[in-house]
Structure 1
Amino acid sequence: MSASFDSRVAVPGASVMASGASAVSAGGGIGQAITGSGSVGLHIDRATLLSPEACPPAASVDWSPGVTNIPARDPMFVGRERELAILNADLAEPLAPGRTVVAHAVHGLGGIGKSTLAAHWATRRAATGTPVWWITAESRPALDAGLAALAAALQPSLVTLLPQEQLTEWALQWLGSHTGWLLVLDNVSDPVDIDVVLSRATSGRLLITSRRATSWRGRAEPIELDVLSTVEATALFTRGQGTPGGDQDDITELCTELGCLPLAVAQAAAYCEQHDCSAREYLDDLADYPADMYEATDESGDAERTIARIWHVTLARIADDPLAVHILLMLAWYAPEEIPRALLDSLGTPPKVRGSLGRLAAHSMITQYDGKLGVHRLVQAVSRTPAQGDSHRDAAAIEAARVSAAESLLEAFPEGDPASPELWPDVRRLLPHAEALAEKTAPEADTETEATVFYMAAVHLRHSGVRSAERSLRLLLRAEAAFVRLLGSEGRATLAARVDLPESWWAVGDERRGQEATETLYEDCARALGEDDPVTLRALTMVAETAQRRGDLDRAQGLLEEIAGKQARILGDSHPATLWTRGHIGMCLLGRGEYGAARLLWENLFEQCVTELGAEHYVSLGVQSHLLMALPVSKAMEGPTGDFLKGMVAPGDETSALETLTALAKTGIDSGFVEELLTGMPTPSEHVETAERYVAACRRVFGDDHMKTLVARMTLVQAYGETMDGRRLAEAVADLRADSVRILGPDYWFMERLNRLLRAFDLVVDALRQVDSMRAMLISGLEGADVSGAALDDILGVFGKFAGALQELLSPTEQGAGPAELPLPDTVSDAANALTAMLDGLRIPDAEEDGPTR
């Protein structure tokens, strides 16, 4: 074999011929040639000889302490104790024998502080000598580039020798052959991208941050990152030099408005510091110019990291699912938490809706739990704010989402009587979202659908809510104004809203406006809807209620009887509305002192209610309340107590204190009131048992914290008082007062009335204790007919406490009558006036004191 190698440049057009059958001839430079017989010829023009140290095996290279690329630690870092504890427990401890790579994925909404947490924790680990490398891994190419950079950092000589693919491979070999390292993969978009690391790096630790909430099974242990607490967010806002000014309450309110999202709070603080504005000014601008403020940042800020832009990338990733975008914009009009998933049922087939929700949840834009949805309030706020040039948030899409939100709410409200507790569980799930819709929309832009939602929410709130009267009234006034604008003053929906206004004003304690709301109400309804329309009959009921509250019992009773007759003819004799109206007729009878007639009406009515509606129907319980609360008063008025009160006469101007005292004692003894007081009033124990069963039923039907249950508990307090059981009465009063403050708050208007009643019972408790301690002496004094001296003083002391209790019951309040008022007849009012005059006469000036003494 012969061969010719010529590395010279070939001459164009020159003839090249081999010298033999196995020869090789070349017209230019060649690297390797193979002859037909299998011989190989290799020609090397130039060669670079490398030392083994220039390209060592990855397993032989150790970590250099100076190698690091962790982002600067944020000096404003606050909170995150729970997450840091998890990372310390799982990633900082030595690996158990045979255990492979340990990976945790910190996931959450954009701007929630995932990277900040990772940098904070990684910096602390690096300080202990742990090899730490940070890779921004938002895509597979970015991950590969980060691994290549790791290889270059560990062995700089490789940069000029190997292409990026081989650098990436070298880094994976290094991770697979070393232990104790920490690799931070920041902002991972697709969990699949990190599989290459998980499959090759068999003995180390991975800390991943991502907006993706799903697809971590088998890859990493997920750690969901939530917003900061209010205290932590406030600390973040005020930390550092140049603390922005402003009232602490304003700062707390601003942090709450921003949903305690770390990025938003930090940007607001930087903006306030740079522009010398307070938290209150920022809040005001946020309300008036939301689009501008969501785009705002300080001079050093990243325009792509503003609140308006932070979620744009995520929305772009789901833009191929228009339903997902529409759902996100629609959820923006509801409250941020516990949104019933069923509100979305009408948007598409279950698989389609589930798929769209799954994509939103996967990108941390929403959370799903127990058939409910949650959205961060700042995501909602941005989603409601049109942005020029942003196809995801154009005005038309936002308005379409608002229409869908209102329509879905209206469709979800159940049909039926709002006073029926059976509806309340479903309704209470909708009410926060109806209120949120009202809060997030301008009244002048309300549609008929939205006005109807607000009306239904108002009525249901008044019946089913706790401390909800003011909220109910606001929604009702809003709905009425919209109906007037859209349908006119005599539209059916307008008149229905007006009919509900009197009760709503009374529920907030405004007697005057409630009565004014009934003026011309019946006439307007009768003219527009007819006299037999249900709305018209309810209007007439409000007129009757107003007459009763003004003390015109004859007119009130006449109107109620007329209404009950029409309801029986139109709705039926056993309809709840008919029975409820008949129950109110009894209150008129009781107020006029017709105790027997009232008792007979209620007893017969209660029996019918139980038969027709059931013992625990809300109408049945209402009639039973009349029986338990009012009839003991009427029975007392028919016995010695009534005789005592009727026999009381206010003293004249010239009557001395001693004459007043003697007359009061004599009236009490002659009437038999004192003897009944000392020997025990004839109250069967079954009255207490009935009251206890009634309260238990109210707890079941209305709930422990409903106003009706609190009022029902007054019947039990009264029953204990009737049995002269001071211990149980004192306990019941204390428990009711404590629960009322817990449920309603000490300043709620109802507490004035309740406290007045409970103060009266406190005086009764003291009187009963005094009676117990002097019972034998007083009975002895009565038997001897001697009521002078100490016996007289003791008797008058007891009278004084009962008189004080009666005054508490009848003392006027700013709000007027209400649900906690006992239905006391005029005779008691007259007696209270006499008692007031007597007690004033008992205040005898002392020679050595400037002030009056008893």
Structure 2
Amino acid sequence: MTTYSNAINVFLSYAHEDEPLRDELMKHLSSLERQGLISTWFDRKVVPGTDWARTIDERLNRASIILLLVSSDFLASDYCYQVEMKRALARNQAGQARVIPVILRPADWKGALFSHLQVLPTDAKAITTWSNRDEAFVDVVTGIRRAIEDLSLLPASSARATLPSIWNIPYPRNPFFMGRDEVLIQLHAQLQGGQAMALSPSPTAISGLGGIGKTQIATEYAYRYHQDYVAVLWARAESQDALISSYIAIAKLLNLPEGDADEQEITIEAVKMWLQNHQKWLLILDNVDELDVLPPFLPTVPGGHILLTTRAWDMQRLATRLEVETLPDEQGAALFLRRAGLLAPDADLLQVPLTDQQLAVSITYTLGGLPLALDQAGAYLEATGISLSEYQEIYQTHRQTLLHDRRSRISDHPEAVATTWSLSFRRVQEKNYAAADLLRLCAYFAPDAIAEEILTLGASVLGPVLAPLASDALLRNQAIEVLRTYSLVRRDPRERTLSVHRLVQAVLQDELEEEEQRIWAERAMLAINAAFPDAKHRTWPQCERLLRQAITGTQIIQQYQIATWKASRLLYKVASYLQDRARYREAEPLYQRALGILEPSLGTGHPDVGYPLHNLANIYLEQGKYAEAEPLYQRALHIWEQSLGAEHPDVGYPPHNLAELYREQGKYAEAEPLYQRALHIWEQSLGAEHPQVASSLNGLAELYRKQGKYAEAEPLYQRALGILEQSLGAEHPDVGYPLHNLAELYREQGKYAEAEPLYQRALSILEQSLGAEHPDVAFPFNGLAELYREQGKYTEAEPLYQRALSILEQSLGLEHPRTRTVRDNYALLLQNMDPNTQQSR
């Protein structure tokens, strides 16, 4: 019996209704498995807790034989037919796998996408129609064995595929190549499309950032689809001289008499004529970054396929661009581990320990999924034998050295990441100095979604070279165009954002002197501060759009110890927005850092110190930390009374919020005069119809409601509601609070018909304006639940309590007073429910 060391991966695609037939087939395939000929896989082998779709896709991409177990259920399954089968047929067409349809049950499969393939069993007779089903399965296994023997996948001596006789690809096939099957299939379809239309296809360009793997993709394409061509030619195209040299070599490879001509133009024209007069050839022009040198070397009407690799974005009508993206984290991690020798070439990421998976994904994220950087890092690990965690630690302290380290023995990409980009940086600076400065500035933003308004609104802080770009769209576009020429930035015209690869940022930062680094980092922070608005409900969308950049600005402040008023201003604005969105844990340290800047520079009694103090107290109040909040309110009140005067409108905030704090603790006597003082200040300074007056009226009404003084509370709620609806609009979130509180008042009086629509309206407003997970949304959920519980509508009440609890537990924690209140209310519901209902739960 012949055995083979490398079993062929067999993937089974089937409808779950056919699992019994699949199991029978597996029994008959066991003989091939015991001989080591095949290794089978199907979706029931997906490990629990893993991404099933990604796992299926990886297994299907690794399979050399794909069995389509055909039945009416298979044909009706969207996933089997539209996803798995289409992917399988694409791999079959590309010569990467053999697809074998196996007809399990009778079905009308004539005209199906696989109908051109030879099917099993013999004569396409469905297995279930055989009088002896075992004979049918034996017939199928025999056919599969023939397919195994026919494939050039077992002993090397049986390989039938040979490369074209005219072949000058300078690199061997990369054993670590992975994650680009979709690109290769798209590339093949794009190049072959012209032949299908009886037209010469236009050149196709693989475009992307240096190190993204363009040359590797072109090389793999040549090896994978060599059977489509009688000649595969390679030319270096980074310069005119390189192209001339390559065309002379091609002329000699083609045995053209003009190959030895004294005039280079004659040789080039001879090669172009050969390309025009012959068919079924592939010409790869590698590294065509300066597109203007290319036209004299292209045939007028090519008889074959031309494939470019380039960093350029605009193809200037020379070619159809196919952009290459970085690798997803999981694929990048697998490539990294394979290159490091920690994962077998045919194994997937799930076969390494979970801790190694997580570390590899983290390193991949740090390296931005860039294949060259991952290859570099993997080679370093292989050479040094260090662990993944050790590499991560070394990278943090020696990033610049590691990004310059290249350990490849193959010349497909001899330069390290840093070297690859340094040349591009120099070319950018030669073409447009402002573009180079723009790139340096972008090195200090978050890499993705850099909103272009940061540049325009931050013009005054960007320095003399960049400032003109902010006010002149033409100059700005010219600079961005130069950067896109080398794929150093990407632009999203719809979102009006730029993005830069995180390693481009790292290399740019490392090339700057320490003082230059600080200058550009501070400019980035100042530009973000200029663009980030004060946090108000109407500015929330813009705050959210700029939030990632704003957080990066706060990190710059910390890293470079920037202690200016504008730095404190950015910290305060970001903290205020995060507080509005109930992200209290993130907001708190930003307020504290703002205080740490303002107090030493302005003095502890300066009015600006009062704002982060007061808002920090608000955060503690929202979190139920009353002991921490009270002294901060009192200190802010003292600062503002002394510096602004007792009747300044800002002086109204600490008394109002102190009153809220006392009311929450049941200290009603202490709370009332503070509410009255705030109300007086705001009525006198802002006018009787100002929203802040409504806020004070609502608080005072709440105080009365808590004491059962419903007659005093109701008109205050109604007046507050009227002010807010008139001044802010009926859908503003502030309108939701008096609505909810008025509903509470009616519920407590047993006026359920009046209360319910108010709860419903408050819930709608708060959900729409604050978001479904904001803790304040729990108020109307709990109120409605209480309403239904008091009416004995337990079925309606229970999911509302659960929703309120879920929101509060996630946002405020299990022990927050609000959470405990709702939990107690829910417990009361369970006590009220009849035994049968409790039994059913």
TM-score normalized by structure 2?
A: 0.71
Q: Within 1, Cα distance between the matches of 2:562 and 2:336?
A: 35
Amino acid at match of 1:584: G
Contact 1:330/1:404 (8 A) holds in 2: yes
- CA shift, 1:115, in A, is 1.2
Structure 2 match to 1:434 = 550
Counterpart contact for 1:609–1:620, Cα < 8 Å: yes
Secondary structure, aligned partner of 1:222 = strand
Contact in 1 for aligned 2:747/2:787 (Cα 8 Å):
no
Local SS of the residue matching 1:133: strand
How far 1:352 sits from its partner (Å)? 0.9
- Correspondence for 1:259 among 346, 368, 384: 368
From the superposition, tell whether residues 689 and 567 of structure 1 become closer, same or farther in structure 2 (CA, over 3 Å): closer
**2:507 counterpart residue number:** 382
**Are 2:501 and 1:350 aligned?**
no
Match of 1:560 among 659, 672, 675: 675
Aligned residues: 651
The one of 96, 105, 110 aligned to 2:210 = 110
Cα distance between partner residues in 2 of 1:290 and 1:519? 48
Distance in 2 between residues matched to 1:261 and 1:206, nearest whole Å: 26
How far apart, CA to CA, are the structure 1 residues paired with 2:541 and 2:400?
A: 38
Q: Which one of the candidate residues 235, 238, 242 is aligned to 2:337?
A: 238
C-alpha displacement of 1:399? 3.6
Give the C-alpha shift of residue 762 in structure 1: 5.3
Cα distance in 2 for partners of 1:600, 1:432 equals: 44
State the match for 1:363 in structure 2: 486
Counterpart code for 1:335: A
CA distance in 2 between partners of 1:197 and 1:754 (Å): 75
Matched, 1:334 2:445: yes
Give a deviation string over 1:61-82, Cα, whole Å, max 9, x none: xx96153224222222120232
Unaligned runs of 5+ in 2: 1-162, 344-352, 460-466
Please name the residue that 1:317 is paired with: 427
Q: Higher mean Cα deviation, 234-243 or 604-613?
A: 604-613
User: 1:522, 1:209 → 2: CA distance?
Assistant: 66
Contact 2:611-2:636 within 8 A present in 1 as well: no
3-state SS of paired residue (2:287): strand
RMSD across aligned positions (CA): 3.3
**2:523 is the alignment partner of 1:404:** yes
From 576, 580, 585, the equivalent of 1:459 is 576
| Structure 1 position 229 matched with structure 2 position 355 | no
- Name the residue aligned to 1:789: none
User: 2-side partners of 1:731 and 1:565: how far apart?
Assistant: 42
Tell me if structure 2 keeps the 8 A contact 1:443–1:482: no
In the TM superposition, residue 179 of structure 1 has moved relative to its aligned partner by 0.7
CA drift of 1:107 comes to: 0.8
Q: After the TM superposition, which residues 491-510 of structure 1 pair with which residues of structure 2 at under 5 Å, given as runs?
A: 491-508=606-623, 510=625
Aligned-pair CA distance for 1:232: 0.6
Counterpart of 2:700? 585
- Alignment gaps of 5+ in structure 1: 1-62, 388-392, 637-681, 775-796, 802-854
Would the aligned equivalents of 1:541 and 1:560 in 2 still touch at CA under 8 Å? yes
Change in Cα spacing, 1:299 to 1:117, as seen in structure 2 (3 Å) is: closer
Check whether the contact 2:247–2:271 (CA below 8 A) recurs between aligned residues. yes
Q: 1:606 to 1:471 in 2, by over 3 A?
A: same
Q: Do the aligned partners of 1:172 and 1:201 also contact (CA within 8 Å) in 2? A: no
**Aligned AA (2:759):** A
Distance 1:295 1:587 in 2: 65
Question: Corresponding residue for 2:403?
Answer: 294
Task: Return the alpha-carbon distance in structure 1 between the equivalents of residues 311 and 623 of structure 2.
Answer: 46
**C-alpha separation between the residues in 1 aligned to 2:732 and 2:203?**
58
Residue 181 of structure 1 deviates from its aligned partner by 0.7
Equivalence for 1:683: 752
| C-alpha distance 612-397 of structure 1, shift in aligned 2 (>3 A) | same
Report deviation, 1:449: 1.8
> Residues 395 and 351 of structure 1: is their aligned pair in 2 closer, same or farther, counting only changes over 3 Å?
farther
Go from structure 1 to structure 2 and tell me whether the alpha carbon gap of 1:506 and 1:272 turns closer, same or farther (over 3 Å shift): farther
SS in 1 for 2:206: strand
Structure 1 window deviating more from structure 2 (206-215 vs 511-520): it is 511-520
**Paired position in structure 2 for 1:205:** 305
Q: Distance in 2 between matches of 1:594 and 1:707?
A: 27
**Offset at residue 565 of structure 1 (A):** 0.9
Which of 255, 268, 278 is matched with 1:168 structurally? 268
Cα contact 1:107–1:209 (8 A) shared by 2: yes
Candidates 797, 805, 809, aligned match of 1:729: 797
Q: Residues 443-458 of structure 1 correspond to what in structure 2 (within 5 A)?
A: 444-458=561-575
Against the structure 1 CA distance between its residues 396 and 569, is the aligned structure 2 distance closer, same or farther, given a 3 Å change threshold?
A: same
**CA distance in structure 1 between the partners assigned to 2:423 and 2:314 by the alignment:** 18
The C-alpha deviation readout for 1:722-750, integer Å capped at 9, x for no partner, is: 44334433454566667x4xxx9958627
Deviation at 1:266?
A: 1.8
- Tell me how far 1:542 sits from its aligned partner: 4.1
1:306 paired with 2:416, answer: yes
Greater Cα radius of gyration, structure 1 or 2: 1
Give 1:448's aligned amino acid.
W
TM superposition shift of 1:178: 0.7
Equivalent residue of 1:213, what SS? coil
State how 1:56-71 maps to structure 2 within 5 Å: 65=165, 67-71=167-171
- Cα distance change of structure 1 residues 285 and 432 upon mapping to structure 2, 3 Å threshold: same
Q: Is the 8 A contact 2:652 2:679 kept in 1?
A: no
Residue pair 1:525, 1:539 contacting (<8 A) in 2 also: no
Q: Aligned-pair distance for 1:238?
A: 0.7
| Aligned partner of 1:537 among 629, 632, 652 | 652
Which residue does 2:834 correspond to in 1? 770
Structure 2 residue 383 is the aligned partner of structure 1 residue 274: yes
Q: What is the TM-score of this pair, normalised by structure 1?
A: 0.70
Report how far residue 127 of structure 1 moved. 5.5
How far apart are 1:580 and its partner, in Å? Answer: 0.9
Residue 408 of structure 1 aligns to which amino acid in structure 2? A
CA distance in 2, matches of 1:542, 1:281: 51
1:455/1:479 contact within 8 Å kept: yes
Task: Map Cα deviations across residues 654-674 of structure 1 (whole Å, 9 max, x no partner).
Answer: xxxxxxxxxxxxxxxxxxxxx
Amino acid at match of 1:353: R
Distance 1:135 1:534 in 2: 74
Corresponding residue for 1:708?
A: 776
For residue 458 of structure 1, report the CA deviation from its aligned partner: 0.7
- After TM superposition, list the pairs within 5 Å mapping 1:111-126 onto structure 2: 111-126=211-226
Aligned pair in 2 of structure 1 residues 494, 309: CA closer, same or farther (>3 Å)?
farther
> Does structure 2 conserve the Cα–Cα contact (< 8 Å) formed by 1:579 and 1:609?
yes
- In 1: Cα distance, 2:666 partner to 2:823 partner: 26
Q: Give the AA of the match of 1:428.
A: E
Secondary structure, in 3 states, of the residue corresponding to 2:203? strand
Residues 376 and 406 in structure 2, CA contact (< 8 A), matched pair in contact too: yes
Give the 5 Å matches for 1:619-658. 619-628=734-743, 630-632=744-746, 634-635=748-749
User: What is the CA-CA distance between 1:211 and the residue it aligns to?
Assistant: 0.7
The one-letter code sitting in structure 1 at the alignment partner of 2:284 is V
Deviating more after overlay: 488-497 vs 253-262? 488-497
Q: Label 1:138 to 1:240 Cα distance change in 2 as closer, same or farther (>3 A).
A: closer
User: Could you tell me how far apart the structure 2 residues matched to 1:580 and 1:687 are?
Assistant: 21
